[in-house]
Amino acid sequence: MRKKKISYSEIIPNKNEWPIVKLSKNRKEFIDEVTSDTYNHLLGNKKASLREDIETTIHREKLRMKANPWRVDPPDEKVYWKSIQSRLLDINGEDKKVAKEQEKHLLEEIIRRYTQEIAGNFKNSAYQFAQRFVTFGFARLLNAARVEGLLSLFSRRLDLDDKIHVIGETEHIRSLAKKGTVVMVPTHFSNLDSILIGWAIQFLGLPPFIYGAGLNLFNIKILAYFMNSLGAYKVDRRKKNPIYLETLKTYSRNAIKKGCHSLFFPGGTRSRSGQLETNLRMGLLGTAIEAQRELYLNAKEGEEVRKVFIVPVVINYHFTLEAPSLIREHLKRTGRERYYVEADEFSTSYKLGTFMFKFFTKGSDISVNVGRGMDILGNYVDDEGSSFDKNGNPINARDYFLRDQKITFDAQREKEYVRVLAKRIIEEYHKYNRVFASHLVAYVAFKMLERKHPKLDLYSVLRLPDEDLILDYEEFRSKFRKLRTRLNKLHSKGQVDMSDHMKKKSYDAIEHGLRNVGLYHDQRPLIRRGDKIIVQDTNTLYYYHNRMNGYGLEKHI
């Protein structure tokens, strides 16, 4: 019997009232505002001389262009930065006051160039098309998984929400999006995450979110089209100079202040290890706190202040198509000379299209688990947006920014707030992580290998010969049942989520996990042959095993 489908109405039916539409209509003014605010902030917080900042930026940009050029880079980059360097050198002979003004002019010009590069170009008509295309395309691919043959791609039967399960605090996030500005912070495992989250936002009836997407992804034409259409602004992680980083932060902060619901992956990039993020990037996360402070600061007396809400989201796949290349990169970083990695990425539209087709034509579920909303210090909020401490006592978020009864800026204080918020997000990731059987079978198998070879380090375990990669099924099943019992206890305490298929008999749950773990990969990490479990790929097995880290399960096996 099929479950009754859930349908969500749009919380803002009038598209012209969407915050992102209002922002796009005033794109030029917004670019001017971000440029001006960044300029003023950099001038007001000088640790080095202005000239030194510009020289550092030029130097780093020249190194970037030489060491790591991308197709998406502007064609005039070399000419532009050579011109900036030449003009800076010409300032040397000028009067000090005149030189200072010319340096300021160069700073403003660089900031404006960065802002124009970062700025999204949302178009409502393109967004509507992208919505229809993604829904149509995803659904047709899913139908192809159930009915053999290409004709199934054009079947009228749409069952997208049978495969992608949007669960958790769904009505709560809809309520918060009406009351204030939502900053969604998902986990990040796959190149598909941005498109998947975009679909989930549309499915929940929320207006489109702005989000930062890696500039490298704009190398892929089809991905660039959708990201532009769905509200993306560009983030170039090669650029580490203070002028660019401050411009990026100002862009995010000002968009949140204007009520644009925002999405960014606080892990910064896809998890290379397969583990839930434990180290979050503080820069963009801090812009939510800055935006909230400025909203309180600029509010008129008696005016209701728009609140900023942080909503963690955990994405769960049975398998991640990029897992083999991601784990190789992780092992190279952690093992250095003990491990060698070869490049393997999805660099063209064709590769991405193949990637998506194979993903959606495999019969494996996806879950998008929406967490409970929090204020900018990680306290839970109710449906009205009111904050409460861990004991249920009401809190006024405005008090976080008071000193002598006045709203003040304190860099050290806000740095600590970001650290506290990051810690709370990580806790929520573990709470809303939805355990799939594929995660647990991988964990049990890899832990059994480690226990069989207690004197070997990780890299030696990963290089075990084939004859040492055979596990006894009954022993495997016993340990699976023991860890599942432990997870059920954690689940009853609200410390982890569990997929419905984990409630099956242990034999059926294990079979479900073995069927789905590494489903697409050329070599499955784990298979069963009679009374034996065979490990075929220790690297990808280790990747999927890592998803269950952080729950103390190693003590129970």
**pLDDT tens-digit map of 446-459:** 999 999 999 999 99
The domain that holds 190 is classified in CATH as 3.40.1130
- Is 1 a domain residue? no
Say if residue 71 is in the same domain as residue 156.
no
Distances in Å between the Cα of 491 and the Cα atoms of 217, 433, 485 are: 37, 10, 10
pLDDT tens per residue across span 16-60: 999 999 998 999 999 999 999 999 999 987 666 889 999 999 999
Same domain, 340 and 369: yes
Q: Name residues whose C-beta falls within 8 Å of residue 488's C-beta, 6 or more positions apart in sequence.
A: 498
Does 438 reside within a domain? yes
**Residue 201 within any structural domain of the chain:** yes
Closest of 434, 449, 403, 447 to residue 496, by C-alpha: 434
User: Same domain for 347 and 418?
Assistant: yes
Q: What is the pLDDT of residue 361?
A: 55
Q: Is residue 389 located within the same domain as residue 248?
A: yes
Q: Which of 397, 430, 463 is the last residue of a domain?
A: 430
**Strand 308-317 vs strand 497-498: parallel, antiparallel, or unpaired?**
unpaired
Q: What is the reported pLDDT for 138?
A: 55
CA distance 554 to 557: 6
Residues of the chain with pLDDT under 70: 1-5, 46-48, 93-94, 133-162, 229-230, 336-364
Cβ pair 440, 487 in contact under 8 A:
yes
**86 and 134 belong to one structural domain:** no
Cα→Cα distances 31→119, 199, 254, Å: 7, 28, 10
**What domain range includes position 289?**
122-430
- 239 shares a domain with 141: yes
- Tell me if 494 is assigned to some domain: yes
Structural domain ending residue among the three candidates 99, 118, 137: 118
Token pair 């806790």 is at which residue? 427
State residue 364's pLDDT score. 59
Q: Supply the pLDDT for residue 460.
A: 95
Distances (CA, A) of 464 to 291, 453, 469: 52, 10, 7
pLDDT digits (tens, 9 = 90+) for 2-11: 456 678 999 9
Q: Does residue 9 belong to any structural domain of this protein?
A: no
**Cα–Cα distance list, 30 to 116, 183, 259, 285, 389 (Å):** 10, 19, 13, 21, 36
CA nearest to 112, candidates 164, 49, 35, 189: 35
- Say if residue 349 is in the same domain as residue 388: yes
Structural domain contains residue 12 = no
The pLDDT of residue 348 is 56
Residues 408 and 441 in one domain: no
**Is the residue at 159 inside a domain?**
yes
Judgement on whether residues 444 and 300 belong to the same structural domain of the protein: no
Answer for the pair 256, 376: CB distance below 8 angstroms, yes or no: no
Domain co-membership, 73 together with 133: no
- The answer to whether residues 192 and 360 touch, using CB atoms and an 8 Å cutoff, is no
Q: Is 366 helix (H, G, I), strand (E, B) or coil?
A: strand
Chosen domain end from 382, 413, 430:
430
Token pair listed for 203: 């499915």
Give the DSSP H/E element, type plus range, for residue 193: helix 193-203
Roughly what angle, to the nearest 10 degrees, separates helices 221-229 and 193-203? 30
Name the H helices within 72-149: 77-90, 96-118, 124-146
d(CA 33, CA 469): 60
pTM of the model: 0.89
205 shares its domain with 295: yes
Q: Using the 8-state DSSP alphabet, how is residue 369 labeled?
A: E
User: SS3 for 242-300, per residue?
Assistant: HHHHHHHHHHHHHHHHCCCCEECCCCCCCCCCCCCCCCCCHHHHHHHHHHHHHHHHHCC
Domain count, the chain: 3
Q: What is the pLDDT of residue 156?
A: 39
125 SS3 class: helix
Both 188 and 228 in a single domain?
A: yes
Whole-number Cα distances in Å, 176 to 288, 304, 308: 15, 15, 9
CB atoms within 10 A of CB 66: 9
